[in-house]
Amino acid sequence: MNNILGCVLIIAGLVFDFIGCLGLVRLPDVYNRLQASTKCVTFGTCCILLGTLLILGFTTAGVKCILAIAFLLFTSPTASHALIRAACKANIKLSDNTLTNEYKK
C-alpha cells in the first residue's frame, strides 16, 4: 500500500516538474517564467520527496527526506523573491503584453 501511494506521489511530482520547466522555456518574460517555474518545481520536488519517504519508511534516507522538505520550503520562495526584487531594481523590462505595473507607479 505504501509502495503504490509513494509511486503515485512520485508520478505527480514528475508531471509538476515537467510542466514547470516547460513554463521556464515557453513564457515570454523573466517574471512570468519565475511565476510559472518556482511554484511548480518546488511542489513537484516536495511530492517526490514525500513519495520517497513513503517508500523507504523511517530509515536514514527517509528522515533526510523530511529535512530536505523543510529546507526546500524555507529557501526556494526566499531565493525567488530576492531574484524578482533584484530584477525589478535592475530595470529589466517587462514583456510587451503587460497591462499594468503596480510596483513602479
Partner 1 sequence: MKTSRYIIGLLAILTIFTLIIFSPLKILIYQHLPFLWLLKRGINVILLCAFFCLFRVVRGPTSADRIAGMDMLGILIIGICALLSISTGRSWYMDIGIAWALQSFISTLAFTKFLGGKDFDE
Interface ranges with partner 1 (CB under 8 A): 3-4, 7, 10-11, 13-14, 17-18, 20-22, 24-25, 30, 33-34, 37-38, 41-42, 44-45, 48-49, 52, 55-56, 59-61, 64-65, 67-68, 71-72, 75-76, 78-80, 82-83, 85-87, 89-90, 92
For residue 25, what are the contacts with CB-CB under 8 A and spacing of at least 6?
Answer: none
Supply the minimum distance, in Å, between the C-beta of residue 1 and partner 1.
12
- For the packed helices 2-26 and 30-56, what is the interaxial angle rounded to 10 degrees? 170
CB 2 within 8 A of CB 54: yes
